[in-house]
């Protein structure tokens, strides 16, 4: 974990970028109270369950993989590798469930009395390039595969918006101490179609720019930290 001055500095910048995107989306939403509606399942191609696999390779769990947990979302979305564990999966899962660019990974199990389920991360090629093996969501997550990059941003923006508004508390069930998000009901929620907003294309461009910048800053933080550690190890 990169807990240092570089991470702190770039982290503050990334937090500001995320805040600006949140404000931008809420403006889109508030301007469209009386307009065309849609449901998130209309822009969805498919969904995939998560995996956990085995800690050590043993037949048939012999395909090395990286598993992203909810606790890894922030670091990975900010361009860092996080502490996502290495696990071993069956071929049937390894060949079908790996994450792709424009997937949205949502934590559908877990949470706490004060934190709902529904944390999410938008997967990009740049994120996946940090790892030398295929990447998967944990079994506490679900992968939502969208019809394209525009749909992925819409889906991610709405999931974030509903999470911030604590809406998901109303869509949880479970009696064993682990809450489960009723994602099928969430996908059927009737929502204002932000694509109708005059500034929607501008929001898309801003989102793409800021999200890419956030990952770039995180990667730069890792590079600078590695350089610092190398210098310290060499001379001290």
The string of pLDDT tens digits covering residues 202-231 is 889 889 888 887 776 766 655 555 555 555
- Which has more pLDDT, 44 or 211? 44
pLDDT above 90 (res 133): yes
Phi then psi for residue 22, to 5 deg, are: -60, -45
Instruction: For 10-42, write each residue's pLDDT tens digit.
Output: 456 556 666 777 777 877 777 766 578 999 999
pLDDT of residue 157: 94
User: CA angle at residue 129 from 63 to 6, to 5 degrees?
Assistant: 120
The mean of the pLDDT values for the chain is: 85
pLDDT of residue 223: 57
73-90 mean pLDDT: 89
Please state the domain count of the chain. Answer: 1
8 A C-beta contact, residue 77 and residue 122: yes
The Cα–Cα gap between 5 and 101 comes to 30
8 A C-beta contact, residue 101 and residue 79: no
78-97 mean pLDDT: 92
H-helix or E-strand spanning residue 146? strand 141-146
The DSSP string of 58-108 is BTTB-EEEEEE-GGGHHHHHTT--TTPPEEEE-HHHHTT----TTEEEEE-
The DSSP letter of residue 119 is -
pLDDT above 90 (res 86): yes
pLDDT of residue 1: 42
Instruction: For 154-190, write each residue's pLDDT tens digit.
Output: 999 999 999 999 999 999 987 567 899 999 999 999 9
97-103 mean pLDDT: 97
pLDDT above 70 (res 111): yes
8 A C-beta contact, residue 89 and residue 53: yes
pLDDT of residue 219: 62
Where b means 16+ CB within 10 Å and e means fewer, 83-107 reads ebeebbbeeebbeebbbeebbbbbb
Q: 């301007």: which residue's tokens?
A: 31
The range of the structural domain enclosing residue 174 comes to 5-235
In this prediction, residue 142 has a pLDDT band, given cuts at 50, 70 and 90, of very high
**Which CATH number goes with the domain that contains 172?**
3.90.220.20
């Amino acid at each position: 974990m990169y807990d240092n001055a570089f991470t702190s500095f770039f982290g503050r910048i990334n937090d500001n970028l995320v805040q600006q995107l949140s404000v931008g989306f809420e403006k889109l939403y508030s301007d469209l109270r009386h307009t065309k509606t849609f449901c998130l399942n209309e822009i969805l191609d498919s969904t995939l369950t998560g995996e956990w696999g085995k800690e050590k390779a043993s037949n048939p769990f012999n395909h090395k993989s990286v598993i992203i947990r909810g606790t890894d979302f922030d670091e990975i979305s900010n361009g860092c590798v996080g502490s996502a564990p290495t696990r071993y999966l069956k071929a049937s899962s390894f060949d079908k469930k790996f994450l792709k660019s424009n997937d949205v990974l949502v934590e559908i199990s877990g949470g706490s009395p004060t934190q709902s389920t529904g944390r999410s991360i938008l997967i990009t090629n740049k994120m996946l390039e940090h790892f030398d093996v295929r990447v998967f969501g944990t079994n506490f997550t679900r992968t939502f595969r969208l019809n394209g990059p525009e749909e992925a941003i819409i889906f991610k923006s709405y999931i974030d918006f509903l999470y911030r508004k604590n809406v998901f508390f109303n869509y949880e069930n479970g009696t064993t101490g682990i809450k489960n998000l009723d994602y099928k009901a969430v996908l059927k929620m009737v929502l204002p179609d932000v694509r109708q907003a005059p500034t929607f294309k501008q929001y898309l461009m801003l989102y793409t720019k800021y999200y890419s910048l956030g990952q770039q800053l995180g990667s730069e933080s890792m590079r600078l930290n590695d350089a610092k550690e190398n210098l310290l190890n060499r001379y001290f």
